[in-house]
Amino acid sequence: MPIRSATFVMSNSDVSKCPKGTLPEYAFIGRSNVGKSSLINALCNQKHLAKTSARPGKTQLINHFLINDNWHLVDLPGYGYARVSKSQKKVFQKFITQYFKQRKQLICAFILIDIRHEPQPIDREFMKWMGTAEIPFQIVFTKADKISPKTIQSKIEDYFKVLAEDWAFFPEYYVTSAEKRTGLEPLVSYIEQLNKTLR
Ligand code: GTP
Ligand code: MG
């Protein structure tokens, strides 16, 4: 089922102030500039629902969007772009980790990865942190329009070869382009399937 309606609910930096209630929730997370907000806009077929920018660090808060009147999509700030001291560079912003630890409504997170890049230490660390925290996640490759279709499969294979150093088995993955609006349908279908299992 496609996304028929998407509306902004609220932004805040405090997980305890996020929407109450039991609607299932799905969060997009990943390095700054990977395309989290753009992908949300593409999925929702709206240009300016989530704020985007060519400069990293655009999304600063936890943003809730109500989808099809029955689930939430959450746009989070990126990690790994630290306008902070070097010693803090590897530290994920505190309210990101608090969000994942405390948000009971979260069903699954999507960790976004720029398909052009080799596995980055901060993404591998974040995945391990999610594993330790027992938070289910899947991988969404972004910006697929930036490489030739022929190289997509080998890029993904190379990526998972490295991840095999950390994981015995892999999550599902999706290949998307917000720019070209490709790979969107499988992602929404997966969420809708999960929603059905919750009813
Ligand atoms: P932060 O909020 O800063 O963490 O970034 P973000 O992950 O939300 O990224 P955002 O959606 O703001 O996009 C960052 C830049 O990447 C923007 O210039 C987008 O236009 C560009 N971008 C996002 N998705 C795509 C894509 O699928 N293809 C291409 N070519 N560019 C993209
Ligand atoms: Mg953003």
CB burial class (10 A; 0-12, 13-18, 19+) of residue 74? buried
Answer yes or no: is the C-beta of 142 below 6 A from any ligand 1 atom.
yes
Over 80: is that where the pLDDT of 87 sits? no
Answer yes or no: is the C-beta of 41 below 6 A from any ligand 1 atom.
no
Would 45 be classed as within a structural domain? yes
Q: Into how many domains does the chain fold?
A: 1
Would 44 be classed as within a structural domain? yes
Q: Domain range for residue 153?
A: 6-198
156 Cβ contact partners less than 8 Å away, ≥ 6 residues apart: 115, 141, 173, 175
CA 172 to ligand 2 center in whole angstroms: 23
CA 96 to ligand 2 center in whole angstroms: 13
pLDDT at 2: 85
pLDDT single digits (tens) 91-102: 567 889 999 999
Instruction: Work out the pLDDT band at 127, boundaries 50, 70, 90.
Output: very high
Would 1 be classed as within a structural domain? no
Would 64 be classed as within a structural domain? yes
Instruction: Indicate the pTM of the whole model.
Output: 0.95
Share of the chain above pLDDT 70, in %: 93
* Dihedrals phi, psi of 96, to nearest 5 degrees: -70, -50
Over 60: is that where the pLDDT of 90 sits? no
Would 54 be classed as within a structural domain? yes
Would 27 be classed as within a structural domain? yes
Answer yes or no: is the C-beta of 72 below 6 A from any ligand 1 atom.
no
CA 49 to ligand 1 center in whole angstroms: 14
pLDDT at 88: 47
Question: What gap in Å lies between CA 105 and CA 191, rounded to an integer?
Answer: 14
When comparing pLDDT for 93 and 12, which is higher? Answer: 12
- Angle at 70 (CA atoms; ends 68, 75), nearest 5 degrees: 80
Please report, for the domain that includes residue 112, its CATH number: 3.40.50.300
How many Cβ atoms are within 10 Å of 85's Cβ, its own excluded? 8
